[in-house]
Structure 1
Amino acid sequence: MRRPLATAATALSCCLALAACGANPPQAEGAGGSSGGDAKASAKLPEDKALHALLPTKNRTSGTLVSVNNGSFPPYEIAGSDGHSLTGASADLADSLGQVLGVKIRHVTTDGLPSQLTGIKAGRYDFALGPVGDFKDRQGANDFVDWVREFVVFAVPKGNPHHIGSLADTCGQRIAVMAGGSAEGVIKKQALTCEKDGKKPVKVQSYKDQPGSILAVRSGRADAFFSSQAPLTYFVAQAKDQLELTGTGKGNGFDDLYQGAVVAKGSPLRDVLLKALRKLIDDGTYGKIMKKWGLSANTLDKPGVNLGGES
């Protein structure tokens, strides 16, 4: 769906999926990934036996929690090619959570958010640490334990040739988004607004992952990528002066945007994660991890359950 120049596009896509062909962020150098929940934190955290006792029986028996990820949400999630190793802020946080809960957190990478949510509902995965956007329409089948506040902006070619500065500037433009994500819903709504106002509609391009969306902009097939500011900041830095951010500091169709871990509706794991995250915030571990990955502006003072409102 996005390979007009198959060889070059494939190579570039692979580069982006692996954080730009040997250009992993300095935070990830030497980390070696998080495989099967193996801890890589410099100082091991003590197990909280009271929290361990609150885990579902199957997890206490197996000694593991299975966390599903999309694999392409840097600097939170940067998946290895084996489908089980992970680096990034979420990987570091998972290591710390595993230590506090006294279990290993095993990472599994799947193809897109819909697959993650379906797998959690079916019990194939225990949770997604994410962070995943928390919205009312997702809370019917899921519970969110929010640990991030995010902002949604645009990544555009250097110089912003199409003068996209906000959601209102997208009429008639080719906008890439993540399929099934909250930004896709907002941009499709904007397309209808453009038509209602007698303007050219937005040409929405939905991709299964972040690298595919960025590739569309870099190859000239899309005019902008509309997504979360934290990963877009990462991709712009990796693009080495080919891209820039725009639309920062504006709502762009969103109110307060909370993101977090996802569990099946009513899962006892929800309250365990909430308490464990609160512990990591209180002892400073969470703040250190977020600072390490350049995410201090996205931190919350305390985690919360289902904080998200209407998009």
Structure 2
Amino acid sequence: MPALARTATTTAIGLATALVLAGCSDPSDGSTTEVADTLGTKTRINLSADQKRVSTAKVGSIAARVPAKIRDRGTLEVVASSSSAAPLNFYATDNKTVIGVETDIAHLVGDVLGLSIDTTPVSWENIFVGLDSAKYDVGFSNITVTEERKEKYDFATYREDNLGFEAKKGSGLKVDGPEDVAGLTVAVSSGTNQEKLLVQWSKENVRAGRKPVDIKYYQSDSDTYLALQSGRIDLYLGPNPTAAYHVASGQKTEVVGTYSGAGETVQGLIAATTKKDSGLVRPLADALNEVIDNGTYAQVLARWGLSDEAVTKSEINPPGLPRTGQ
């Protein structure tokens, strides 16, 4: 495995270790929980609708570069996946307020741009349909930069993308590469970069004379985890933060392997996603670099136990997950 992939794997394993759920600090309070980092420092996570988010000041020079239509409206229309799970985008204890690290970062960007944030949860495929039609301005939803997506969308990166293979606890499985999933039944969400990577691995296995991956799709996380516990699937491949958080919540599963979301030669990156040439990607990147520099970005990641996925700079349209066959 190339050095880059090993580095990404090491980083993601650190994240899995970091997300140790300590349970509610007050058992009677269902609106908070705590995660502990690798040094044992506990961070309370607020699960209520009253988020008390980290905020920052408007920067006029950056806000002035936002397209006039959006400036005049005063609102940044954000789209996110309705099927995301903690700690990405998910519902607060009121079951209607969207919270999570993705939402917090969107609000920081809105602060810099002087815009209020209006987040709409939709199905994964409708994120891109909505961006295509300009119904939404930007997606903050754990969206990975890929070479194929770059044909239609612009990206401003803000987090590393690492994937996690989750198995039933005590499975004895360990995943480092394609050969480790040959012949196994693996669940993945349709239309994601996780699916693309898994399909590529399955093809590599066939070319090498090994069994293909039996890829399964489920409508919800609850269905997927039920299948995992019952033995109908061997593994679930998803975003590593979600897998680690699920394990930390006391479920009878474990992360048995991690991988860069862009494959073995490129570190995967998560990015704010806009319609290509909309004029929004530069102010988004500038706003992200502002919050990276002023420290509020680091506060948000620490708030959700995701400091290990921090980037030092927001990049516009960097190398992404290669096309199939590249």
* Counterpart-to-counterpart distance in 2, 1:24 and 1:170: 37
The whole-number CA distance in structure 1 between the counterparts of 2:90 and 2:180 is 31
**Are the structure 2 counterparts of residues 119 and 241 from structure 1 closer, same or farther at C-alpha, using a change threshold of 3 Å?**
closer
> After superposition, where does 1:203-222 map in structure 2 within 5 Å?
203-207=214-218, 210-222=221-233
Give, in angstroms, the shift of residue 200 of structure 1.
Answer: 2.6
Q: In the superposition, relative to structure 1, how do residues 221 and 128 fare at CA in structure 2: closer, same or farther (>3 Å)?
A: same
Matches of 1:270 and 1:45, distance apart in 2: 20
Residue 53 of structure 1 deviates from its aligned partner by: 2.0
C-alpha separation between the residues in 1 aligned to 2:32 and 2:230? 21
For residues 46 and 141 of structure 2, the distance between their equivalents in structure 1, rounded to whole angstroms, comes to: 21
User: How much has 1:306 moved relative to structure 2?
Assistant: 1.2
The 1:167/1:140 distance shift into structure 2, 3 A limit, reads same
Asked if 1:94 is matched to 2:106, the reply is yes
Shift of 1:85: 2.4
Q: Which of the numbers 35, 41, 49 marks the counterpart of 1:32? A: 49
Q: Is 136-145 or 214-223 further displaced after alignment? A: 214-223
- Unpaired runs of 5+ in structure 2? 1-29, 35-43
Are the structure 2 counterparts of residues 241 and 269 from structure 1 closer, same or farther at C-alpha, using a change threshold of 3 Å?
same
Structure 1 gap ranges (5+): 1-21, 35-39
- For residues 114 and 137 of structure 2, what CA distance do their matches in structure 1 show? 16
Match of 2:252 among 242, 248, 256: 242
Task: Give runs of ≥4 in structure 1 deviating > 6 Å.
Answer: 81-84, 249-252
How many angstroms apart in 2 are the aligned matches of 1:159 and 1:23? 31
What is the letter of the counterpart of residue 100 of structure 1? V
Take 1:305 and 1:209, find their aligned partners in 2: how far apart are those partners? Answer: 32
Is 1:118 matched with 2:135?
no
State the alpha-carbon separation in 1 of the partners of residues 261 and 143 from structure 2.
18
CA RMSD in angstroms, aligned pairs only: 2.5
Percent identical pairs in the alignment equals 26
Q: Which has the higher contact order (CA 8 A, sep 6+)?
A: 2
Q: Is the 8 A contact 1:153 1:226 kept in 2?
A: yes
Residue by residue over 1:192-213, the C-alpha shift from the partner in whole angstroms, topping out at 9 and shown as x without a partner, is 2333333332110134555543
2:17 maps to none
**Structure 2 equivalent of residue 228 of structure 1:** 239
- SS of the residue corresponding to residue 266 of structure 1 reads coil
